Amino acid sequence: MNTPIPEIPRSAVPTAVAASGWRRLSPRSAAVTTVALAVFAGLPCLVTGAVLAVTGTLVAAAIVAGCGVLTVAGVAAVEWLRVAATRYRVTDERVERRVRLFGETHRSIPRDRIRSVDVSADVVARLLGLARVTVGTGQGDGETLCLASVTTAEAAVLRRELLARGVDPAEGREEPNDAITRLDPRWFGYVPFAAWTPALGLGVFGGLYSVLGWFGDDVANGVALWVWAELRGAPALGAVVALGSVLATGVLTGLAVSVERWWGYRLDREGGRTLRMRRGLLTTTSISLEEERLRGVELVATVPARWTGAARVRAVATGLARSGSQDKGDPSQLTPDLPLAEAQRVAAAVLREERSPLAAARWTAHPRAALRRRLSRALLACAVVAVVAAAVSALVAALPDLAWTVVLLALPPALLYAAGLYRRLGHALHGPYLLVRSGWLRHRAVALRRDGVIGWRITRSPLQRTAGLATIGATTAAGKGVYRAPDVDLTEGLGFADAAVPGLLTPFLERG
């Protein structure tokens, strides 16, 4: 059943509040498309045509200019027709969208199945007072309904109307909103330590090389050879300059991306039952999450950001499909990288707990056999690398000691990585939550509500059976679907699963 909300006067938002009757999209979006096409497609064609006409190739000039004009006119006409042919309406039972253009398309979603109403707007849409509204039913069936261009006022009222949030039905008044966290500009200081910073720097230089390729392969290759010649004279200095340039470019690019994405960030609890995240500098995004869909939280900390004490909070919830909107990115990410203490506080607030279970729990360490498995994998990887290096040494006489050099360089980091993986393993039960953690390069710690576990997935490889280990996976309808505790003692793992959700695994256990 939908909670009734007070009627909003028609004078406030005349097109968004009618309980019946079809409503139009804003025609401003078609005007924007027409202007954009004229500037970015039509104008270059006209300029090119003028240049060709001056050089005397009148036929080519007429063809280029004519193609540009026809393209702009044709695409603009289709956009105007699409906007004019699209109608939507909200009734007591359903939200519907109808498009009558070269046929009729009718999409309808029952209101009692609506799980999200997300609003986004890029910089042009914001200037014109437009927004995109995406209505979703959740990831189970992936059904969505998108209204690409409604006014900002209509978008706000539609979101309120469809979610029916924040109203006390007994008193007919709005419940207050609670602020969970706000952006602290100091959080952008974690950007240089993000794992993807070097990749961004390489991507920028790769893009510059591609741009130079527009002027011919000789130009791009000539610039690359000139840079190589300048750096080859001093290899050590050249390596430092190249690495520094990539990292500096990656940091600046990452900072720009993070500012654009997270500027104005805020996470609130609206009406006592909905989490709402808003963020964005040029493109603003508003994502809503019903608390009844929340099954837990996840803390994610990547290397080297974890060394600076940073982590991010993700929601473990049903109905967070990426396909819901192309503008909102990962809808499960509730925060940017922020201090670990603040991340734990946000996790506790989201779960309505005084203290985060991920910080309060007493973690159970995994058996030593799990450490031996990781050390064995590290040694095996080094052995494979050594064999490849020995083969290269046999083919290249100038590299007689390559195998030993590679082993000496690779073995210590590999063993440290294996030990780090083991130290990050853990599982626990804390109040109504089941907790698991794993990973070193990308460490994940999950607090999953025990009443959200719908089954168990227990796997054992031949080597795990030999060591008496198993991987215990809690299955849920939310998030990734399965959250695993790898390489736990079989008896302890089965007891852990049985204690987490009493009775669910009991019929499959053999008591002896």
Give per-residue pLDDT as tens, 128-150: 888 889 888 765 445 788 888 88
The verdict on whether omega for the bond into residue 304 sits within 30 degrees of 0, i.e. cis, is yes
Residues facing 301 on adjacent strands: 443
Q: To the nearest 10°, the Cα dihedral for 203, 206, 207, 210? A: -160
CA distance 438 to 248: 31
Tell me if 227 is assigned to some domain: yes
Span 33-74, pLDDT tens digits: 777 777 777 788 888 878 777 776 777 778 878 888 888 888
CA distance 152 to 320: 24
Span 410-457, pLDDT tens digits: 888 999 999 999 999 999 999 999 999 999 989 999 999 999 999 999
Tell me if 484 is assigned to some domain: no
Eight-state DSSP code of residue 280: -
Binned at pLDDT 50, 70 and 90, residue 201 comes out as confident
CA distance 165 to 271: 6
DSSP string, 41-104: IIHHHHHHHHHHHHTT-HHHHHHHHHHHHHHHHHHHHHHHHHHHHEEEEE-SSEEEEEEESSSE
Compute and round to an integer the Cα radius of gyration of the chain.
29
Span 316-357, pLDDT tens digits: 998 765 443 444 467 889 999 999 999 999 999 999 999 999
Eight-state DSSP code of residue 366: P
Tell me if 336 is assigned to some domain: no
pLDDT score for 13: 39
Name which of 48, 41, 101 is nearest 70 in CA terms: 41
Tell me if 508 is assigned to some domain: no
Eight-state DSSP code of residue 341: H
Tell me if 109 is assigned to some domain: no
Whether residue 468 contacts residue 489, with contact meaning beta carbons closer than 8 Å, is answered with yes
Whether residue 320 contacts residue 275, with contact meaning beta carbons closer than 8 Å, is answered with no
> What is the distance of C-alpha 495 from the center of its chain?
35
**What's the maximum distance between 2 C-alpha atoms anywhere in the chain?**
96
Tell me if 327 is assigned to some domain: no
Helix (H, G, I), strand (E, B) or coil at 114: coil
Domain boundary among 245, 262, 279: 262
Domain boundary among 423, 450, 465: 423
Cβ-count burial of 276 within 10 angstroms (0-12 exposed, 13-18 middle, 19+ buried)? buried
CA distance 333 to 341: 17
pLDDT score for 246: 85
Structure-token pair, residue 156: 């706000």
Number of structural domains (the chain) is 2
Structure-token pair, residue 412: 């210590």
Tell me if 506 is assigned to some domain: no
> What is the distance of C-alpha 129 from the center of its chain?
26
Structure-token pair, residue 332: 């499960």
Cβ-count burial of 298 within 10 angstroms (0-12 exposed, 13-18 middle, 19+ buried)? buried
Whether residue 68 contacts residue 41, with contact meaning beta carbons closer than 8 Å, is answered with yes
Highest mean pLDDT among 15-24, 375-384, 388-397: 375-384
CA distance 36 to 31: 9
pLDDT score for 183: 95
Contacts of 52 (CB under 8 A, 6+ apart): 58, 60, 61, 64
SS3 string of 444-495?
EEEEEEHHHEEEEEEECCHHHHHHCEEEEEEEECCCCCEEEEEEEEHHHHHH
Q: What is the pTM of this model?
A: 0.78
Binned at pLDDT 50, 70 and 90, residue 266 comes out as very high
Whether residue 434 contacts residue 458, with contact meaning beta carbons closer than 8 Å, is answered with no
Residues facing 96 on adjacent strands: 89, 108
Between 123-137, 221-235, 487-501, the lowest mean confidence (pLDDT) is in 221-235
Tell me if 326 is assigned to some domain: no
Residue-range definition of the domain harbouring residue 227:
187-262
Domain boundary among 262, 283, 309: 262
Mean pLDDT, rounded, for 461-479: 93
Contacts of 503 (CB under 8 A, 6+ apart): none
CA distance 161 to 117: 10
Name which of 145, 144, 254 is nearest 191 in CA terms: 254
CA distance 176 to 499: 38
Name which of 108, 463, 38, 118 is nearest 290 in CA terms: 118
CA distance 294 to 317: 4
Binned at pLDDT 50, 70 and 90, residue 17 comes out as very low
CA distance 22 to 308: 54
Mean of pLDDT over the chain = 82
Helix (H, G, I), strand (E, B) or coil at 399: coil
